[in-house]
Every structure is written in C-alpha cells, then in structure tokens.
Amino acid sequence: MTSITISNKEIAGKQLGIMLLALIGLGIAGGIAVNNLMAEGHAVYNTNNLGLFWGFPIVVYDYFLLTSTGLAMVASMALIFGGEDYRPIIRRALWLALAGLIGGVAVLMMELGHPLRALWAIPFSFAFSSPLYWKVMAVSFYVLSLLILQLRMLKADWRMQDLRINAMVTLVLALGVTAIAGVVYGSQSFRPFWASGDIPVAFIFESLLGGLAFVFFFTYLAYAFNPAAVPESVKRLFNDRLANLLALAIFIHLLFVLARMSSGLYGNAEGLQVWQTLATSPLFFAEILIGLLLPLVLLMYPGTRTRPWAQIMASLLVMNALLISRYEYIIGGQLVPLFKGSWAPELLSYVPSPTEWLLLLVAIFLSNAVNAFGEVTLRLGREG
C-alpha cells in the first residue's frame, strides 16, 4: 500500500506536468490558429464551393464527439450492467468524455461562420426537421447528464446501484447523440458514399471502439505508462474483460468498413467511384492493416494480449485508425463535385491546410489539459 501511495503522489506530479505541457501546446497551437483566422478568416481552410464544404475541422469535431459518447457508453453500461469490477474505470471514462467533448466543440466553434450566434440561434429555432438541431439539443442534455453523474461520484463511497437511473439517462443520451450524428450523414440520399440506414448503428459501434481504446490509453497515461503503478484491480479488468471487448469492437468496426467498401466498389451510383480511389490509397491500407488488424492480433494473441505495451500500442493504433476512418468517411462523401461542369475535376482533391492541422492539435491539447486537471483535482484513480 505504501509503495502505491508514493506512486500516486509521483503520478499526480506527472499529471501536473502533462497539464502544463498541454496548456503550453494549447497556447502555441491555439494562438497560431486564432491569429491565422483573425488575419485571413476561413480562407485558411482548404474547403471550397466546388463540393468540399466540410473539411478537417469537422472531422476532428466528430471524432472527438463520437469518442466522448463512446466513453460515456462504456462508463454508463459499466454502471448499469458491469458490477464492481468496472469501478476503477468509470469516473475516468466519464471525465474523459467531458474532456474530449470540450476539445471537439472548441474546434467546431472555430469552423462555424458565426459561432456565438449558434449558441442562441440553434436552441431557440425549434427546427425540428433538422438533425443538427436535435444533435445540439441532445449534446446539451448529454453534457448535463455527464456533469450530474460526475458530481454524484465526488464522494468516495458512491454506490453503483444509486447511480443506475443517471447512468441509463446518460447511456440513452450518448446513444442518441451518436445515432443523430450518423443520421446527419446517412440521410443524404443523393450522396451514396454516405447514405445508408445503418450508418447510425455503425457510428455507435465506432464510438464504442473509440471509448474502449481511450479507456486503455488514458488509464495507462494516468499511471505515466508505468505498468507497476497500475492497480491490480485495473490490470485484472483490462486482462480479463476489456481486452476481449476491445478486440470484439475492432472486429465489428472492421466488418462495417469492409462491408461499406465492398458495396462501394461494386456499386455504380454516382458518388461511389470515390471507393475506387480510396480503397487503393496508402492511408486506407494503413487504417486497415496497421490501425485495425495489428491491434486485433495483439489483443487476440495469448502471448501479447495481457502485456501492457501491447494494450497501449493497440489502443493508440485504434485511436489513429478511427481518425483516419472519420476523415475518409466525411471527406470521401464530398469528393464528387456537384453540378460544376467540365471545369471541375472528376474527383476533388483535398488535404488539410496547416491551420486545419493546428486545430487537431488544439483539440488534443485542450482535451489533455482538461483530462489532466481532472486526474489531479478529482483523483480519478481513487477507485483503483
């Protein structure tokens, strides 16, 4: 017990270091990005009116949003069904859900034409026919439910059965936000690359995968990647259950991606030709082979599945693969120009601008700063 207590103090010091580094990174990346935006406006983004309306900032926003809901799903399902074994990861996952969401929404605010107007114009519009209206409303209540759950777990002796109703509400909202995010794209019937009734379901599994990967990575990060400092209860949970769940989630996500690819390659609808380019790109191969299959092997192979390095690597690779997957999906659906004539290329080309890359860093640094703040002040490892 003494050695663990000392380790915890050391770890708290390291978390302070992470927070400081994240804040410095946020200051630099955010400062440059804001300066660029003030100087040139949205001309610093590589989006255009030929058809590429939503660029990398939307990819980053959706990635962080869906990761957040995935973390909330993992935590709330653990509260509802999991039992005491899952106790060590619940508060951390819920706080991380909040941290990720803050990072993503910050980037969205820098992408919108009128971010401040959005704060009042959306809630008071009552635009019931718009998926984005419902998404914003669901996210608002989702944040509220995360905060209530976190507040009710401030006392060290919180009991799972007392929080089940709260957890159910959080789970429903997390599922709702994720499904609506899927509807935003899936309902665009004239974009066959996006449109499909099962997109909300695919998004939910993708979220769950992200949530599980983030739980692994950020739990190890909380102990400064020092496996000796990780409590036995956490190790047991990771090795006995979560490694299997992560592998299963990778497998399901892989099925969704490969199924979409197969339909896309054989389909003849205008827009599906994007798959011909996408499926031969190095990025797609990196996503499938390194980002999904390699982690799957690491988590299935008996010699590696319980090794901390393998779990850290698998989760890190999955986190990257999901970002690539989100990028390919959102950008891929817009690559065919809409009624722009022969002057427009057959497929639009897009690479994120330097400022758009900076926004990814802004989201990463901001989320990490908020997460480290929680680790230090809320002692998220207390339950371990």
Residues that bind other proteins (CB under 8 A): 41-43, 45-51, 53-54, 112-115, 117-118, 121-122, 125-127, 129-133, 135-136, 184, 188-190, 270, 273, 334, 336-344, 346
Among residues 122 and 148, whose Cβ is nearest to other proteins? 122
Least Å distance between CB 322 and other proteins?
A: 22
Among residues 130 and 244, whose Cβ is nearest to other proteins? 130
* Cα 83 from Cα 73, distance rounded (Å): 15
Least Å distance between CB 131 and other proteins?
A: 7
Least Å distance between CB 344 and other proteins?
A: 7
Among residues 54 and 251, whose Cβ is nearest to other proteins? 54
Among residues 190 and 309, whose Cβ is nearest to other proteins? 190
* Cα 71 from Cα 179, distance rounded (Å): 15
Least Å distance between CB 280 and other proteins?
A: 17
Among residues 358 and 370, whose Cβ is nearest to other proteins? 358
Residue 302 dihedral angles phi and psi, to the nearest 5°: -60, -30
Least Å distance between CB 186 and other proteins?
A: 12
Among residues 132 and 286, whose Cβ is nearest to other proteins? 132
Least Å distance between CB 124 and other proteins?
A: 9
Least Å distance between CB 63 and other proteins?
A: 17
Among residues 128 and 228, whose Cβ is nearest to other proteins? 128
From 266, 273, 298, 229, select the one nearest 5 (Cα to Cα).
229
Among residues 51 and 374, whose Cβ is nearest to other proteins? 51
* Cα 83 from Cα 241, distance rounded (Å): 12
Task: Tokens 């700063």: give the residue.
Answer: 369
Among residues 113 and 282, whose Cβ is nearest to other proteins? 113
Reading the block at residue 80, the tokens are 């509802």
Least Å distance between CB 48 and other proteins?
A: 6
From 165, 163, 168, 140, select the one nearest 153 (Cα to Cα).
163
CB atoms within 10 A of CB 240: 11
Among residues 131 and 231, whose Cβ is nearest to other proteins? 131
Least Å distance between CB 90 and other proteins?
A: 33
From 71, 85, 61, select the one nearest 170 (Cα to Cα).
71
Tell me the HSE value of 108 on the side-chain side, using a 13 A CA sphere: 16
Least Å distance between CB 140 and other proteins?
A: 13
